[in-house]
Structure 1
Amino acid sequence: MQVSVESTSALERRMTVGVPVERIETEVNKRLQQTARRAKVPGFRPGKVPMSVIRQRYEDAARQEALGELIQATFYEAVVEQKLNPAGSPSVEPKSFEKGQGLEYVATFEVFPEFEVQGLETIAVERLQAEVAEADLDNMLEVLRKQNTRFEAVERAAENGDQLNIDFVGKIDGEEFAGGAAKGTQLVLGSGRMIPGFEDALVGAKAGEEKVINPTFPEDYQNLDLAGKTAEFTVTVNSVSAPELPELNEEFFALFGIKETGLEGFRTEVRKNMERELRQAIKSKVKNQVMDGLLAANPIEVPKALLSSEVDRLRVQAVQQFGGNIKPDQLPAELFEEQAKRRVVLGLIVAEVVKQFELKPDADRVAEMIKEMASAYQEPEQVIAWYYKNDQQMNEVRSVVLEEQVVDTVLQKANVTDKSVSYDEAVKPAEAAKAD
């Protein structure tokens, strides 16, 4: 077998492979002999058909099959021989082939970029330090109470925070518009669910009252036919209900699966969850900074095949997440290219860090991570047992642990500063923190 390789770009390779005629004929004859043992030809008993008849009837098909399999096999042999690492499937074009002669074909494909991870010492990471204070715990209990607010009907005028049951009809220039009417809608005043001015105009309304209000749609409203226009809504208030926060009692604790431990036991469980959330938030922010630093310090070219595959994967995820009667390939590729490129480049860089520093998943950390995840459930032992019986889930945990070890490896060389912050600031999503 003869092989020559030409670099047509930084990642693209054009490989010419020559397969000798002897190997082709050996594969063709092998298939003809297999066919002869089972072929049914009128006038002959199975297995007794002359090879000349078999060749006449089946040689073309056997040759096509042999050539297809030879191209696959010799391509693999050639990339191993040339120490190439293809990224995606090759485009194969037969260059020359005639019966009785060798086969020559050209395979065009991309290879994975070859690089060493650099610049770890230039990566700056701010590592947050925080703890769950008693005030943080008290605030969280109030949040949990508000999330389980009940509304009780009242006879007084509506206030911000009350829940109204309303019917409404909206008009613009005296004409009703699509989506501008509803019956029996539950609306909490001050929630910001309706357009600006709608909820404010209902403060002071009473059950049984009809009000005509004139809010204006925002200039950037998603429905361009309504954007910037002032509407007239006729609103009927069916009922006004005031919020009532639940008491911190056994009934309330049972909503969270916590029984017979009283207020102190409930506070202990809530604190554990808050501390778990705090650890994860800090870890996530450190990881994001490390990954951003690795990207900035190691600009690499991305194989188009990998980028295309990742775009397709993101398209499928988008359809699964948002639903609708749409096929993944109907979504424009450019919507996902930036995210796909980041994921592909990070995948290549992380894999190279693993290789460069000879990292392997730490068994103790895998066990600790499973224990940590299981602790959020009522019967953690069953969750732990389930993980250890499920190879796919175990491999996912190992991948996460290995990624954490990559982060730890970078942190050993990066410029890390610690910063003490409040619990709220530590758990705040990075996007919200940047906006602040």
Structure 2
Amino acid sequence: MQVIETRSEGLKRELKVVIPAADMEARMVERLEDVKGKVRINGFRPGKVPFAHMKKMYGKSVMAELVNELVRDKPSEILSERGEKSATQPEIAMTEDEAQAEKILAAQADFEFTLNYEVIPSIELKDVSGISVTREVVEIDEKEVEEQILKIAENARTFEDKDGAAENGDRVTIDYLGKLDGEPFDGGKDEDAELVLGSNRFIPGFEEQLVGLKAGDEKVITVTFPADYPAANLAGKDATFDIKVKTVAAPGAVEINDELATKLGLESADKLREVVRGQIEGQFGQITRQKVKRQLLDQLDALYSFETPERLVDAEFENIWRQINTDLEQAGKTFADEDTTEEEARAEYRKLAERRVRLGLVLSEIGEKAEIQVSDEEMQRSLFEQLRQFPGQERQIIDYFQKTPGAAASLRAPIFEEKVVDHLLGQIKVTDKTVSKDELTAEDEADDKPKKKAGKKKAESEAAAPVEAAAEEAPAPKKRATKKKAAEDDAAAE
């Protein structure tokens, strides 16, 4: 076998692989000899079939098997011998000329194919001891815990039917039918909907018009959907709702005690406080973690500058670009609304894709050198988390990860990345700083406001692209309803 490098430009490689016809024929002969004793052909005793007859009957099919096996197995062997890693699955090209293909199958011509691929660049790891990050920590006080428990108690309190008019704080049970220009619209109808007046769950102006109604009352109300409403067909539109009030119920007292804890499946109010405190600490801890990680990745990005595999960048850009356009569509906005153009946005997100791929390669190299592994137990926990997010689709999710190439890598990559980040945090200077809740969340809240370059923060939050050499990333399972569809299914709710 000959391997001839026909292209070496930057990270791009092209190899021509030639396997002489004599070698192919020798492989075929060896394969036929192996099965000779097993073949049964009418007129011949087992093991006594003349080789020439065997070759005539099975030679081409055996050669076709050999071609498939060589194309499947040889690329990885060749790259290993060359000490190279392909950024994606190599592209393989063979002759498309039927006459030439027939000659190859008849062992009358050399078998040739080409490999096109990009190599993972060689990365010389830098000293990270000079990196320092600030870890903002919020001290959770009892007031914060009690406020959260109070909200839980308010949501869990009971209501008792009453005969009088509905007031703020009362719960009404209603049927409603929404109309645009007098015609019902999809998702604008519900029966036995429960709504606590003053909760601001429904679109502005809806709940206020129910105050004063009694059980049995009917009323037509007029509202205007917000301009940024998720369902584009309703955003900014005036609509009417035919309302029928079925019951009005007054709220019971809000009490924080062992009885409340029992309703929630806990043994005592003290245990409830402990659980709530843990949840709050977890929520703030996630924000702290993301801020620390962002600082770390920003400084790593400043340390490294190297050419990135174009195909990886293309794939990462397409992922980002698809999400950006989905966000714009769901918001009913254009690039002009975001004070940019499609061309400018493409250029910016292309740079972001390059950053993510570069950081992914760096983290991958650091993890490999540190011998960081992802255990089977960690993979199982990640899979269970996927199952929890898609209730009712457990079988489909399991089948997806078992049968889809690259799907397991999509579970492994984020776990691996977090473990590499933990490894790095043990090597750099981390300074804790106690801050208030508002200080910790200030930047994140600012990021939620409309800003130039649609979806930028969302894209940047996933700062390093997961890199799995020679593996194609498979699409994640989809939930049953999109955000837009969910919004339309409950059109009166904000």
TM over 0.5: yes
Q: Which moved further from structure 2: 77-86 or 234-243?
A: 234-243
The one-letter amino acid of 2:433's match is: K
1:432 aligns with 2:445: yes
The DSSP-based 3-state class of the residue aligned with 2:65 is: helix
Cα distance 1:123–1:162, how it changes in 2: closer, same or farther (>3 A)? farther
SS in structure 2 at match of 1:61: helix
Q: TM-score, normalised by structure 1?
A: 0.71
Question: 1:117-153, CA deviations, whole angstroms, 9 ceiling, x for partnerless residues?
Answer: 5595786743112222222222232132123232222
Q: 1:185 to 1:421 in 2, by over 3 A?
A: same
Cα distance in 1 for residues equivalent to 2:371 and 2:11 = 27
CA distance in 2, matches of 1:361, 1:176: 56
- CA distance in 1 between partners of 2:442 and 2:41 (Å): 74
Q: Could you say which residue in structure 1 is the equivalent of 2:296?
A: 290
Amino acid across the alignment from 2:297: M
Superposed CA offset, 1:347-367 (max 9, x none): 4221112235x254699xx99
1:430 deviation in Å? 6.6
Distance change (3 Å), C-alpha of 1:104 and 1:402: closer
Query: What's the counterpart of residue 210 of structure 2?
Result: 202
Instruction: Using the TM superposition, give the Cα deviation of residue 187 of structure 1 relative to its aligned residue in structure 2, in angstroms.
Output: 1.8
Aligned to 1:355: 368
Matched ranges for 1:35-434 at <5 A = 35-94=35-94, 99-100=107-108, 102-118=110-126, 120=128, 125-221=133-229, 226-259=234-267, 262-295=268-301, 297-298=303-304, 301-302=308-309, 304=311, 308=315, 345-356=358-369, 358-360=370-372, 400=415, 403-409=418-424, 412-413=427-428, 418-423=432-437, 426=440, 428=441, 431-432=444-445, 434=447
Q: Return the alpha-carbon distance in structure 1 between the equivalents of residues 217 and 414 of structure 2.
A: 61
- Three-state SS of the structure 1 residue aligned to 2:165 is coil
User: What's the secondary structure of 1:215's corresponding residue?
Assistant: strand
Counterparts of 1:403 and 1:231 in 2: how far apart (Å)? 48
Partners of 2:111 and 2:189 in 1: CA distance? 73
Once superposed, what is the RMSD of the aligned Cα atoms? 4.2
Q: Distance in 1 between matches of 2:237 and 2:374?
A: 61
SS at match of 2:47: coil
Structure 2 spans left out of the alignment, 5+ residues: 323-345, 382-407, 450-494
> Any conservation in 1 of the 2:133–2:295 contact (CA below 8 Å)?
yes
Over 3 Å counting, the alpha-carbon distance change for 1:253 and 1:170 in structure 2 is: closer
Partner amino acid for 1:45? R
- Structure 1's unaligned 5+ residue stretches are 316-333, 371-392
Aligned length: 382
Q: Partners in 1 of 2:237 and 2:55 — Cα distance?
A: 82
Q: Distance in 2 between matches of 1:397 and 1:94?
A: 34
Letter in 2 for 1:409: L
Distance 1:353 1:176 in 2: 59
Q: Is the Cα contact below 8 Å between 1:213 and 1:232 reproduced in 2?
A: yes
Deviates more, 1:86-95 or 1:405-414: 405-414
CA displacement 1:328-379 (0-9 Å, x = unmatched): xxxxxx9xx98987765544221112235x254699xx99xx9xxxxxxxxx
Structure 1 equivalent of residue 392 of structure 2: none
| SS of corresponding position for 2:238 | coil
Mapped to 1, the partners of 2:25 and 2:82 lie a distance apart of 25
Give the fraction of aligned pairs with identical amino acids, expressed as a percent: 33
Instruction: State the alpha-carbon separation in 2 of the partners of residues 249 and 402 from structure 1.
Output: 43
Q: For residue 203 of structure 1, what is the amino acid of its counterpart?
A: V
User: Which SS does the other structure have where 1:218 is aligned?
Assistant: coil
The superposition leaves residues 62-103 of structure 1 with CA deviations (integer Å, 9 ceiling, x where unpaired) of 223233333444433322222121233333234687535543
Please give the TM-score of this superposition, normalised by the length of structure 2: 0.64
Distance 1:180 1:404, change over 3 A: closer
Q: Distance in 1 between matches of 2:179 and 2:79?
A: 70
Asked if the contact 1:216/1:229 (under 8 Å) is kept, the reply is yes
